[in-house]
Structure 1
Amino acid sequence: MLTIIQVFTVEPQDQQELIDLLSEGYGSSLSRAPGFLSCGLHRGVDGDKVTLYAQWRSEADYEAMLNDASLPAILYRALTISTFEPGRYEVMQTFRPARGAAGPA
């Protein structure tokens, strides 16, 4: 499995537009791509960041999506209002609350 973490930097007045563009791009197209597993979209509370966390079955599936000529134009608009720093990761461990542990107060 491949995990993609992209941290977008955006002007605060454009943050919601960027979230809308990424939501539409993943919801309407990328979520149907072969090998797509999941995606989480996170709003920075300071207003200038949006972080996307996506998981793909393999590096090959992710590369095929990037090279697909039908990639939604809406995602190109997202790149005109933001800059981003992509990263490719492998999940090493996932932690969950200990059995019987209380959640946040």
Structure 2
Amino acid sequence: MTETTQIEAGCDIATLINVFTVAPERQAELVAMLTRATEETMKGRPGFISANIHAGADGERVVNYAQWESEEHFRAMLADPVAREHMTQAAGIAESFDPRLFSVESVHHV
């Protein structure tokens, strides 16, 4: 499986898009925590492909765009106590979050 983010319609992978709402003064803290969690934990989990952490220009949002080889790999990560510890930390920083799995249906380039 590829080791970089590739956004391609019809690709048989699980795409997590998790939108966090955060107080502007805590945005950098959440970005750092998610980055650390990815480097220390998520990258070592079976089926992990990539994660991309985005900070909203308004300071109020952080988006995690992550790819897993399958929904089963993603669900196994959710059941892992070490991974859950990181998710609990993120939830403690964010005011709210909305994780959802997606499939890529359409991609457009210039």
Q: Please give the TM-score of this superposition, normalised by the length of structure 1.
A: 0.86
Helix, strand or coil for the counterpart of 1:66?
Answer: helix
Runs of 4+ in structure 1 off by over 3 angstroms are none
Gaps of 5+ in 1: 98-105
Output the CA distance in 2 between the equivalents of 1:30 and 1:46: 27
Number of aligned residue pairs: give it: 97
Contact in 1 for aligned 2:78/2:84 (Cα 8 Å): no
Is 1:87 the counterpart of 2:100 in the alignment?
yes
Contact in 1 for aligned 2:16/2:102 (Cα 8 Å): yes
Percent same amino acid among aligned pairs?
36
- The one-letter code of the counterpart of 1:27 is E
Output the CA distance in 2 between the equivalents of 1:76 and 1:47: 21
Report deviation, 1:69.
Answer: 1.9
Output the CA distance in 2 between the equivalents of 1:92 and 1:36: 21
Which residue does 2:5 correspond to in 1? none
Which residue does 1:33 correspond to in 2? 45
Identify the range of structure 1 (82-91 vs 57-66) with the bigger mean alpha-carbon deviation.
Answer: 82-91
Is 1:57 the counterpart of 2:95 in the alignment?
no
Helix, strand or coil for the counterpart of 1:71?
Answer: helix
Output the CA distance in 1 between the equivalents of 2:86 and 2:99: 18
Which residue does 1:96 correspond to in 2? 109
Identify the range of structure 1 (9-18 vs 63-72) with the bigger mean alpha-carbon deviation.
Answer: 63-72
CA root-mean-square deviation:
1.2
Helix, strand or coil for the counterpart of 2:83?
Answer: coil
- The one-letter code of the counterpart of 2:34 is L
Is 1:20 the counterpart of 2:29 in the alignment?
no
Contact in 2 for aligned 1:21/1:75 (Cα 8 Å): no
Gaps of 5+ in 2: 1-12
Which has the higher Rg, Structure 1 or Structure 2? 1
